[in-house]
Chain A
Amino acid sequence: MSRKKASLKAGKRLCGVVRLFFFLAFLLLFFRDNIGKGWSFAEWNWNALILAGAVPVMITLGVNLLPRLFPADRLLLSLTNFLCALGVLILYDTKPLYARHQVIAYGIGLIAMVICIYLIRGIRSWRFPAILLIPVSLLLLALPLLIGKEKNGARNWISFAGASMQPSELVKLSLILSVSWFMSRRKMIPWFLFSAACLGLLMLQKDLGTALLYFGVTLLLYWGSSGNTAVTLLGAAAGGGAAVLGYRLFAHVRLRVAVWRNPWSDYDNSGYQLVQSLMAIASGGILGVGLGLGSPTTIPVFESDFIFSVICEQFGVIFGLCVLMMYVALIWRGTVIAMAARGSFHALTAMGCTVLIGLQTFVIIGGVIKLIPLTGVTLPFISYGGTSLVSSMCLVGLLQGVASLNEDDLEEDAGIASVGLD
């Protein structure tokens, strides 16, 4: 019990530092916005000051309120909220309008997270939901092909009533839930067909980055559930074969690879994004140019795909490494939760969420630092994009749900043990 208290104290301290960081950062941006405007308050831009108050409050709500409702993993909550708030901060610095959208999505994300926790806690039998999610997901994925619009080369967006969303972000959740359920019941055919159908639809949308994520998560989960290394390697080889085929067939894939190999050779056109990203990272140096300085907005899609480059330019490579370490800590917590789960469905769900967050982070950061060819996926929690943020928060919600069940089980065990002692 004392160990738990110590970790609670450490978590609170961490949370305090995080709140202070964001308070000061937004305060700095508030000064930047209003410097030289004199003392006529009417002309001042108060948004940053509002955020300086609101963001720490949201972090407090996110980290401290939830554990009062049910047993939750505080460290995971602190990390998630820090990354979300970092996204809001970077967006406010570069494009304030996006920050407003992002704050709303952050709020919705917190609610969605709670809903996911209740779903995991509430639903006793996942048989029916797991089956139902399959047609719903496939329908959602097919929608952009029917009524969608093209953005950055991929046809993966739909819009209705003025709001737009990316179905593949939401289908991630159902993919993990359904695949985990069928895997936990050792029914191979349904999840195989489901994920294959998802991959097919994503290919049709030309959303190769997301397809890569779906494929990677399914493959790793399969290995996790079965331990069948031979089939997993076969699957990886098939994926590699598909990649080679894609390279041969599609000009845009060849272009991506060519840019990856030498972005400088075609600076003015295809290489522009990546070169701008590399120059931004290099301009930041070890300690960064400082929040509010530099020219991060010269990087195309700085708000989503390349937001990590913006972080590196402003806060430096050191901070970029720290952000990476936070994802590592997140993966570690996720794995611990998955390993503590009692049932294999919950274990696989938790591991699936962990692997997805980890892979997605690797794929996008690897892309912007030129380790692997760039595929347009978002950086979980940080990148601009409501659907993406909400879906990432839901992933954490699923993880938290499993964590809370684990805690319940532990308490039950303790109860039984104490009864036994009587």
Chain B
Amino acid sequence: MKQLRHRFKLLALFLFALFAALMLYGAYNIANYGTRWFSSSHNPRVAAQKENVIAGDILDRNGVVLASISEDGQRVYHPDAAVRSAVVHTVGSPDNKVADSVESFMTEYLYGFRSNLPDLIRNLFSGGTRKGDNVALTLDSTLCANIPRYYASHPVTGGKNGAAVVMNWKTGELLAVVSLPSFDPADAGVKSIDETGQPYWNRVTRGRYPPGSTFKIITAAAALRAGMNTGDDTFWCSGSLQVDGQHTIRDFSGEVHESEDLRKAFKLSCNPYFSDLALRLTDARLRGEAERFGFNDNVLFRDLVVENSVYPSGIRSDYEVAMSGLGQSTLLATPLHMCLVAAGIANGGVMMEPRLIREVKSPTGSSVLAFSSEAYRTACTPETAAVLQQYMKDVVQDGGSGWRARISGMDIRGKTGTAESSLDGKDITYGWFIGYSADESLPYALCVLTEDIEDGQTGGTTSALVAKDIFGYLLQINGQ
């Protein structure tokens, strides 16, 4: 009997362990996914609540009202169509055509599901219709509205689809999130969901593109971690590199760079050098570095739903590994993520969590939620970041591939990328520019992507031009 009792005790402990698993799993999931589950467009409670509550306003960082509620209870947007369509992917549209916009992701505040107790009691006694909280974004709506104009102003980028994102690399505040083509939320039902170019799709957070040469920042970081940047570690670039006996990796324009080290290869974005480097690093180390920079991470940001970027796993051929060093093969990254990579380098290796919400205020003016910045992850050491900062400076300021983004009065650094992929049998070239301003007083990082650029164009000849215009705007608003 004594043994029986002892075993009963263990059985009870086993059951307690099961219950502990229930509680921990439940609490963990609700803490992490609760908001996402709740604000799902499938949730019938949201629609029900919308009928009884006057939704809160959505404002930009300067207090410009981007979305409010009219007398008859309908959402109305900014009077300027250019502003409306530039921020629509972030703010949202009346019928929720845009997935995970502020309108749906912040439902709990906008529609007053999370009102604080004093407000609830006040409402109970006043008997009036409840009003949701106002949400102030970190966006600068003027900048957002300017970005489509910048694209249009250059023949090489005019009329192209693309994505641009600007953030503060110190705090993570997003100043601009623009996806092209866009649509006007006030002009209901003009475009169907299958419209060519997919105007409802937020390319900044949802679009996954081959990162191309912008990924060389990560390849270079892996090389620095492995101690491969010693002075005698030079490479002879003959214009091409044979891999696997059957594949030849060339530079975009077939240039021959001759003798080069990591710094020079980075500045000139030399493909043979980086594919050779990737092979020397091995797939495992390159993947490890990519994951330190946030690839393959199932990102759960507080304010945004972002697709995860992919560095493929499994056994891969030498050619695939060599191409991975150039950000090709089957690598995929979102424009927001590549902006985070640039911002992380600017911030000494610490990638800040991108944030879209500046403040949530109740209708009575009390602050419900205030902006707080937090680190997303530490990608590399400050020393490695400092070396990469220098390399990225060369790209823009020392005759490298990104020289077109240079602007006087600002210390711009960056990396260009020209990535290729085939879509429905058609080869498409993407032009990238990711970069940042190194001034402490102008702590901005950006990523500009242009889809389907013309033959002979590169990221440095297309997106870098838009990036320059954006930096010009940022310089101007900061009064320098």
| Known contacts A282-B33, A283-B113; is-contact A327 B19 (Cβ 8 Å) | yes
From B43-51, B266-274, B438-446, the one touching the partner chain is: B43-51
From A54-62, A118-126, A352-360, A378-386, the one touching the partner chain is: A352-360
Q: Is the CB of B25 within 8 A of A369?
A: yes
Whether A317 sits at the interface, judged by CB under 8 Å, is yes
Contacts of B26 in A (CB 8 A): 281, 317, 320-321, 369, 371
Q: Is the CB of B42 within 8 A of A365?
A: no
Q: Is the CB of A324 within 8 A of B22?
A: yes
Give A32 to B4 CA distance when docked, in angstroms. 52
Q: Is the CB of B11 within 8 A of A369?
A: no
Q: Is the CB of B29 within 8 A of A331?
A: no
Q: Which DSSP category, helix, strand, loop or mixed, fits chain A's interface?
A: helix
Interface size on B, residues (CB 8 A): 36
CB distance from B280 to the nearest CB of A (A): 39
Q: Is the CB of B37 within 8 A of A282?
A: yes
| Known contacts A279-B40, A295-B48; is-contact A371 B22 (Cβ 8 Å) | yes
Give A371 to B22 CA distance when docked, in angstroms. 7
Contacts of A282 in B (CB 8 A): 30, 33-38
Whether A347 sits at the interface, judged by CB under 8 Å, is yes
Give A347 to B21 CA distance when docked, in angstroms. 27
Q: Is the CB of A362 within 8 A of B18?
A: yes
Give chain B interface residues in 173-193, CB to chain A under 8 Å.
none
Across the interface, name the chain A residue whose C-beta is closest to B24: A371
| Known contacts A285-B114, A295-B48, A362-B19; is-contact A220 B12 (Cβ 8 Å) | no
Whether A278 sits at the interface, judged by CB under 8 Å, is yes
| Known contacts A283-B43, A285-B114; is-contact A362 B15 (Cβ 8 Å) | yes
Contacts of A324 in B (CB 8 A): 19, 22-23
Contacts of B3 in A (CB 8 A): 227
Across the interface, name the chain B residue whose C-beta is closest to A286: B30
Give A281 to B1 CA distance when docked, in angstroms. 44
Contacts of B45 in A (CB 8 A): 279, 283, 294-295, 298
20 contacts between A and B (CB under 8 A): A223-B7, A224-B4, A281-B37, A282-B30, A282-B35, A283-B43, A285-B113, A295-B48, A298-B44, A298-B45, A317-B26, A324-B19, A328-B16, A338-B8, A355-B15, A362-B15, A366-B18, A366-B22, A369-B26, A371-B21
Across the interface, name the chain B residue whose C-beta is closest to A327: B19
Whether A370 sits at the interface, judged by CB under 8 Å, is yes
Whether A116 sits at the interface, judged by CB under 8 Å, is no
Give A312 to B9 CA distance when docked, in angstroms. 30
Whether A275 sits at the interface, judged by CB under 8 Å, is yes
Whether B14 sits at the interface, judged by CB under 8 Å, is yes
Give A324 to B27 CA distance when docked, in angstroms. 12
Across the interface, name the chain A residue whose C-beta is closest to B35: A282
Q: Identify the 6 closest CB pairs spanning chains A and B, nearest first.
A: A282-B37, A335-B12, A358-B15, A282-B38, A282-B34, A339-B5
Give A253 to B227 CA distance when docked, in angstroms. 52
Give A370 to B25 CA distance when docked, in angstroms. 9
Across the interface, name the chain A residue whose C-beta is closest to B18: A362
Most interface-central of B1, B35, B114 (chain A CB within 10 A):
B1
From the candidates A279, A285, A359, A369, name the one contacting B15 in the complex (CB within 8 A): A359
Give chain B interface residues in 230-252, CB to chain A under 8 Å.
none
Extra inter-chain contacts (20) besides given A282-B35, A370-B29, CB under 8 Å: A220-B11, A279-B40, A279-B43, A281-B26, A281-B37, A295-B45, A295-B48, A298-B45, A317-B30, A321-B23, A331-B16, A338-B8, A344-B4, A347-B4, A347-B5, A354-B12, A355-B15, A362-B18, A365-B22, A369-B22
Q: Is the CB of B42 within 8 A of A267?
A: yes
| Known contacts A279-B43, A371-B21; is-contact A339 B35 (Cβ 8 Å) | no
Q: Is the CB of B43 within 8 A of A335?
A: no
Give A321 to B16 CA distance when docked, in angstroms. 13
Give A244 to B129 CA distance when docked, in angstroms. 55
Contacts of B1 in A (CB 8 A): 344, 347
Give A206 to B27 CA distance when docked, in angstroms. 32
Whether A85 sits at the interface, judged by CB under 8 Å, is no
Most interface-central of A225, A282, A295, A335 (chain B CB within 10 A):
A282
Interface size on A, residues (CB 8 A): 42
Chain B positions within 8 Å of A, measured between CB atoms, are 1, 3-5, 7-9, 11-12, 14-16, 18-19, 21-23, 25-27, 29-30, 33-38, 40, 42-45, 48, 113-114
- Fill in one digit per residue for A267-286: 1 if any B CB lies within 8 Å of its CB, else 0: 10000000100110111010
Whether A113 sits at the interface, judged by CB under 8 Å, is no
CB distance from A251 to the nearest CB of B (A): 25
| Known contacts A281-B30, A282-B30, A371-B25; is-contact A295 B19 (Cβ 8 Å) | no
Give A279 to B45 CA distance when docked, in angstroms. 9
Give A267 to B30 CA distance when docked, in angstroms. 19
Q: Is the CB of B8 within 8 A of A351?
A: yes
CB distance from A191 to the nearest CB of B (A): 16
CB distance from B217 to the nearest CB of A (A): 33
Give A70 to B4 CA distance when docked, in angstroms. 27
Give A317 to B34 CA distance when docked, in angstroms. 11
Contacts of B19 in A (CB 8 A): 324, 327-328, 331, 358, 361-362
Whether A332 sits at the interface, judged by CB under 8 Å, is yes
Across the interface, name the chain A residue whose C-beta is closest to B3: A227
Across the interface, name the chain B residue whose C-beta is closest to A277: B37
CB distance from A399 to the nearest CB of B (A): 13
CB distance from A111 to the nearest CB of B (A): 28
Give A339 to B6 CA distance when docked, in angstroms. 8
Across the interface, name the chain A residue whose C-beta is closest to B37: A282
Give A324 to B26 CA distance when docked, in angstroms. 11
Q: Is the CB of B42 within 8 A of A223?
A: no
| Known contacts A285-B34, A358-B15; is-contact A275 B7 (Cβ 8 Å) | no
Contacts of B16 in A (CB 8 A): 328, 331
- Fill in one digit per residue for A363-392: 1 if any B CB lies within 8 Å of its CB, else 0: 001100111000000000000000000000
Give A192 to B144 CA distance when docked, in angstroms. 72
Q: Is the CB of B22 within 8 A of A224?
A: no
Q: Is the CB of A224 within 8 A of B7?
A: yes
Give chain A interface residues in 270-324, CB to chain B under 8 Å.
275, 278-279, 281-283, 285, 294-295, 298, 317, 320-321, 324
Q: Is the CB of B42 within 8 A of A279?
A: yes
Most interface-central of A227, A279, A355 (chain B CB within 10 A):
A279
Most interface-central of B5, B9, B11, B33 (chain A CB within 10 A):
B11
Q: Is the CB of A351 within 8 A of B25?
A: no
Contacts of A328 in B (CB 8 A): 16, 19
Contacts of B43 in A (CB 8 A): 279, 283
Q: Is the CB of A335 within 8 A of B9?
A: yes
Give A339 to B113 CA distance when docked, in angstroms. 48
